[in-house]
Amino acid sequence: MSEQMICIGCGGTIQTEDETKIGYAPPSALEKDPIICQRCFRLKHYNEVQDVSLTDDDFLNILHGIGQADGLVVKIVDIFDFNGSWLPGLHRFVGKKDVLLVGNKVDLLPKSVKYEKVTRWMKQSARELGLQPRDVFLVSANKGYGIKEVMAAIDEYRNEKDVYVVGCTNVGKSTFINRIIKEATGKGNVITTSYFPGTTLDMIEIPLDDGSALYDTPGIINHHQMAHFVDKKDLKVITPKKEIKPKVYQLNEQQTLFFGGLARLDYVSGGRRPFVCYMSNELFIHRTKRDHADELYEKHLGELLQPPRKSYCEQLPPLVAHHFTLKEPKTDIVFSGLGWVTCHEPGAHVVAYAPKGVGVMLRRSLI
Ligand code: GDP
């Protein structure tokens, strides 16, 4: 049996199969001595953090480690996919540690949205989900909005202790950390990696002025996000890149909206009313009669109704129906990772369809 190769940077076992997992190195790197994984290579040469994903056990190990460590936790969520990117178990592990909650990708929300209202909504939703953050921020890691404020808050709340940045994959954690590195350390500083206490998992360690460090924990996979059910090209279509332009549909009873071929909303009863869709501007929305919807889906999935593209249809799990009666005014019907549909008046009965395994839920309206 061949000997295991270890990265000299992070200590992870070198592998050449999966770029998204710990220890990945392109085959050409194996000829070099010493061997370094792609993630450490990029960190060393470009001061750039690259995300790797973890198994559920790794995730529990990380949470456990954070629970035992002393410091400030910065939890990043994707404001476009708040519930899908939430990390439900975190509050049980953080104990009495201070948590700052950071909603990233605020640039995607329509410009008319009041940020104070969104942060209030985040605070309340966090509390309902069992987490009491010390403070809540909205940022755009891409555009740089709000980063200085978060950095000031991190410095204030950490009390000269370490900082742990956590978040599930795709929330923009790497983009956020790379921004902080640029703002805080400048180019010349060396970033190191270190082992997480009690586990073999490495974390990126960014030294802070007073001898403490900011740790980037590996991204955690949340299985209920639509992102895990589509391929890369389709993911590009459903991931909004710019400010979302809400699309309003005045629906009669017994009408259906298809969101590409990935989700569907049947309006069953409640009188003619508007439904406001907040999804990627590039996602095609098709309206039809409910009577025709099943047949249309069967005939046109992968063509008129895409994503998914034709070649990927077979891998998409079947759509599952979720029945809801909207009892509160201003309710969002959320399709995890795809977006949401807002209904302003109570009393509608709807059926929301999403691929088996993708989270669908109601919440108080974000906007
Ligand atoms: P990670 O998996 O959490 O480390 O996420 P990445 O930093 O790799 O980002 C995931 C995706 O979100 C990429 O396509 C980024 O371009 C995008 N992204 C990151 N930050 C922002 C942001 O502030 N706004 C928007 N619109 N997209 C962002």
Domains in the chain, CATH or no CATH each: 56-216 (3.40.50.300), 227-364 (no CATH)
Separation of alpha carbons 100 and 165, rounded Å: 10
pLDDT at 119 over 90: yes
pLDDT at 359 over 90: no
- φ, ψ (nearest 5 deg) of residue 87: 60, 80
pLDDT at 192 over 60: no
Q: Quick one: average pLDDT of 24-51?
A: 75
pLDDT at 233 over 50: yes
pLDDT at 133 over 70: yes
Q: Quick one: average pLDDT of 157-181?
A: 87
Percent of the chain with pLDDT over 90: 53
The residue whose C-alpha atom lies closest to atom 24 belonging to ligand 1 is 105
Q: Is the peptide bond before 34 cis (omega within 30 degrees of 0)?
A: yes
Question: Which ligand 1 atom sits closest to the C-alpha of 108?
Answer: 26
Question: Which ligand 1 atom sits closest to the C-alpha of 240?
Answer: 26
- φ, ψ (nearest 5 deg) of residue 221: -85, 130
State the pLDDT at residue 348. 97
Q: How many Å lie between the centroid of ligand 1 and the Cα of residue 170?
A: 6
pLDDT tens across 60-101, in order? 777 777 888 889 999 999 999 998 888 877 888 888 899 999
State the pLDDT at residue 189. 44
State the pLDDT at residue 198. 40
Look up residue 296 and give its amino acid.
Answer: L
Look up residue 333 and give its amino acid.
Answer: I
211 C-beta neighbours (distance < 10 Å), count = 8
State the pLDDT at residue 259. 98
Pocket mutation for ligand 1, best pick of 74, 115, 142, 236 (most atoms within 8 Å of C-beta): 142
Reduced to 3 states (helix: H, G, I; strand: E, B; else coil), residue 196 is: coil
Question: Which ligand 1 atom sits closest to the C-alpha of 49?
Answer: 4
- φ, ψ (nearest 5 deg) of residue 56: -65, -35
Give residue for tokens 């990117």: 85
306, β-bridge pairs: none
Q: What residues does ligand 1 touch, defined as CB less than 6 Å away?
A: 51, 104-105, 107-108, 140-142, 167, 169-175, 219, 241
Separation of alpha carbons 309 and 325, rounded Å: 32
Q: How many Å lie between the centroid of ligand 1 and the Cα of residue 3?
A: 37
Q: How many Å lie between the centroid of ligand 1 and the Cα of residue 80?
A: 11
Give residue for tokens 């995300």: 51
